[in-house]
């Protein structure tokens, strides 16, 4: 091994420090979950505890591997305000905090209508503080005194780069990730950033994810044992990072990535930016790829929906197993067309903001709350396998709408990765629903970390992304297509209960 790469991969739940060798093979990975700190009744990221753990893991890795560079990738919608002492001047609040309708109303009154902002910034109106600018707006009011002491406003990957190097920077994938901060039509900070009065606190230039932010500070070198010349890249948004292995293998357009987990993120790298009039107001947006290309994106909390509803079924039946895919059972449910499981458990986070989480069976509605509290029970939930069938079909229905909103057209391949790769029913039904698109399962277990490692290797070697494709293999396993015509009338009936926003 000529050199090694350290990747710090920060998800909302799991934090990871991974090590890749010079051939982009993961040789080590350590994981930890950090519970939130509670500050003024709000959940906040425990930045100090996370940093201490990162340093400890890097120190251990430095004893075993010749690490030359560090790359950071993080979940979205998060920023940190840093004071003159180099430490956070305000708490780093979870983006899941919901400040209430009055807050959202005031935000749009001050900065512009949701549709106008979506058209210019590529950002939809998401609930809670999943829009970074809303988090900043909230922090300026809630922590006004601390915010006044702010010297640098850093987006999340660049905050960690700053802690390692003492240097500030910004890059495109995070700035352009449903933040309201970047005007995608003009390629500059948005009127929202200007109206928030934060432009002077943010780096004035957007760099590339693989550009070098700086070398580690003397303090980090002493604590970790890493060489003083260890470089840190600018960092990258996690969903955009997961695109890079496919860009290397397939090119920058011509496929849609269906990345599944707590958040299901459907990303279609397209050639041109822009919304159709009917798309404004929908939960469809544009990310900016690592190569500054538009990535039309739709999201929903598919993993959360699956875990929550399956937890209800498991508790009801006192079982822990996941029923296998029985095509005959699923076909029966689809043909009867009388049982429908509807989103959204977390309102305003997916493709159906007007839909209430419930089961509709034979025209009767059973709310999630009543089912969860044991006050009501839809007949299909008395059968464990039938309940899971309704749940998995619901996830397929949501995925289809998200795929359509990202502009999926006949002939384009769909790559599914993440947790739903192992969900045979989901994959079989999705493939059957997409008559004009081949569906593949990939074998990339941790695409986000691999993508970040690729940016680090680009920084070290000066090579372009396509030159790295020979370093690793990706298996694209095609999902066989079944002929299930009952899927299509079932979907129309299912959609009729969602409010079709």
The predicted model gives 172-200 an average pLDDT of 96
Which tens digit of pLDDT belongs to each residue from 261-309?
Answer: 889 999 999 999 999 998 999 999 999 999 999 999 999 999 999 999 9
Are the CB atoms for 447 and 247 separated by under 8 Å? no
Token readout for 183 is 């005007």
pLDDT at 348: 82
pLDDT at 146: 96
**Does the pLDDT of residue 190 top 80, yes or no?**
yes
452 by Cβ neighbours in 10 Å (0-12 / 13-18 / 19+) ranks as buried
Note the maximum CA span of the chain. Answer: 68
74 by Cβ neighbours in 10 Å (0-12 / 13-18 / 19+) ranks as buried
Which tens digit of pLDDT belongs to each residue from 425-467?
Answer: 999 999 999 999 999 999 988 899 999 999 999 999 999 999 9
Strand partners, 267: 257, 297
pLDDT category at 501 given cuts 50, 70, 90 is low
pLDDT at 445: 80
pLDDT at 442: 95
pLDDT at 347: 85
Which tens digit of pLDDT belongs to each residue from 412-434?
Answer: 999 999 899 999 999 999 999 99
Nearest to 243 by CA among 419, 455, 424, 427: 455
d(CA 402, CA 248): 25
All structural domains of the chain, each given as residue ranges with its CATH number in brackets, are 4-234 (3.30.420.40), 244-501 (3.30.420.40)
Angle at 75 between CA 73 and CA 80, to 5 degrees: 90
pLDDT at 30: 98
CA 459 to chain centre: 24
Q: Does residue 373 sit in helix, strand or coil?
A: coil
CA-based R_g, the chain, Å:
23
pLDDT at 335: 98
Are the CB atoms for 49 and 109 separated by under 8 Å? no
pLDDT at 64: 98
Report yes or no on whether pTM surpasses 0.85.
yes
Q: Indicate the angle between helix axes 424-433 and 384-405, nearest 10 degrees.
A: 50
Mean pLDDT (the chain, rounded): 96
Neighbours of 360 (CB within 10 A): 19
Q: Does residue 31 sit in helix, strand or coil?
A: strand
Token readout for 137 is 């707006």
Nearest to 262 by CA among 246, 239, 281: 239
pLDDT at 344: 94
Q: How is 278-310 classified by DSSP, letter by letter? A: GGTTSSEEEEE-TTS-EEEEEEE-HHHHHHHHH
Q: Where are the strands (E) in 305-453, listed by range?
A: 339-342, 358-361, 364-367, 413-418, 439-442
pLDDT category at 342 given cuts 50, 70, 90 is very high
Neighbours of 20 (CB within 10 A): 30
**Does the pLDDT of residue 500 top 80, yes or no?**
no
Sequence-distant (6+) residues with CB within 8 A of 385 are 323, 326, 329
The predicted model gives 111-120 an average pLDDT of 97
pLDDT at 68: 98
């Amino acid at each position: 091994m000529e050199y090694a790469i350290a990747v710090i991969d920060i998800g909302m739940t799991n934090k990871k420090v991974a090590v890749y060798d010079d051939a982009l093979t993961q040789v080590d990975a350590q994981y930890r979950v950090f519970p939130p700190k509670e500050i003024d009744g709000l959940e906040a990221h425990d930045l100090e505890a996370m940093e201490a753990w990162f340093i400890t893991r890097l120190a251990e890795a430095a004893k075993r591997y010749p690490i030359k560079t560090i790359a950071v990738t993080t979940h979205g919608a998060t920023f940190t305000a840093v004071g003159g002492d180099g430490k956070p001047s305000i708490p780093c609040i979870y983006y899941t905090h919901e400040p209430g309708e009055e807050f959202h109303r005031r935000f749009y009154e001050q900065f512009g209508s949701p549709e106008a902002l979506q058209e210019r910034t590529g950002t939809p109106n998401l609930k809670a503080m999943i829009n970074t600018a809303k988090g900043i707006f909230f922090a300026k009011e809630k922590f006004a005194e601390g915010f006044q002491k702010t010297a640098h406003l850093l987006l999340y990957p660049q905050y960690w780069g700053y802690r390692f190097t003492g240097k500030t920077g910004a890059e495109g994938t995070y700035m352009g990730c449903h933040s309201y901060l970047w005007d995608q039509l003009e390629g500059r900070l948005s009127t929202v950033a200007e109206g928030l009065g934060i432009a002077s606190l943010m780096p004035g230039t957007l760099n590339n994810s693989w550009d070098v932010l700086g070398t580690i500070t003397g303090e980090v070198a002493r604590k970790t044992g890493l060489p003083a010349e260890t470089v840190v890249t600018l960092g990258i948004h996690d969903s955009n990072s997961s695109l890079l292995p496919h860009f290397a293998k397939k090119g920058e357009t011509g496929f849609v990535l269906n990345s599944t987990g707590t958040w299901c993120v459907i990303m279609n790298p397209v050639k041109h930016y822009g919304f159709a009039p009917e798309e404004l107001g929908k939960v469809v947006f544009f990310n900016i790829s690592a190569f500054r290309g538009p990535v039309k994106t739709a999201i929903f909390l598919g993993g959360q929906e699956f875990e929550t509803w399956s937890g209800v079924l498991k508790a009801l039946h006192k079982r822990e197993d996941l029923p296998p895919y029985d095509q005959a059972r699923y076909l029966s449910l689809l043909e009867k067309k009388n049982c429908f499981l509807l989103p959204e458990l977390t309102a305003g986070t997916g493709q159906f903001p007007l839909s209430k989480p419930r089961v509709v069976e034979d025209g009767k509605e059973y709310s999630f709350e009543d089912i969860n509290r044991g006050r009501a029970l839809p007949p299909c939930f008395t059968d464990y396998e039938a309940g899971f069938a309704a749940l998995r079909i619901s996830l397929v229905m949501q995925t289809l709408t998200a795929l359509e909103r990202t502009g999926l057209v006949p002939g384009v391949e769909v790559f599914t990765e993440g947790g739903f790769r192992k969900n045979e029913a989901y994959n079989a039904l999705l493939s059957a629903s997409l008559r004009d698109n081949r569906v593949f399962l990939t074998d990339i277990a941790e695409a986000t970390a691999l993508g970040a490692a690729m940016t680090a290797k680009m920084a070290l070697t000066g090579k372009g992304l396509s030159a790295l494709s020979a370093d690793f293999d990706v298996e694209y396993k095609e999902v066989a297509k079944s002929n299930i015509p009952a899927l299509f009338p079932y979907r129309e009936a299912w959609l009729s209960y969602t409010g079709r926003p």
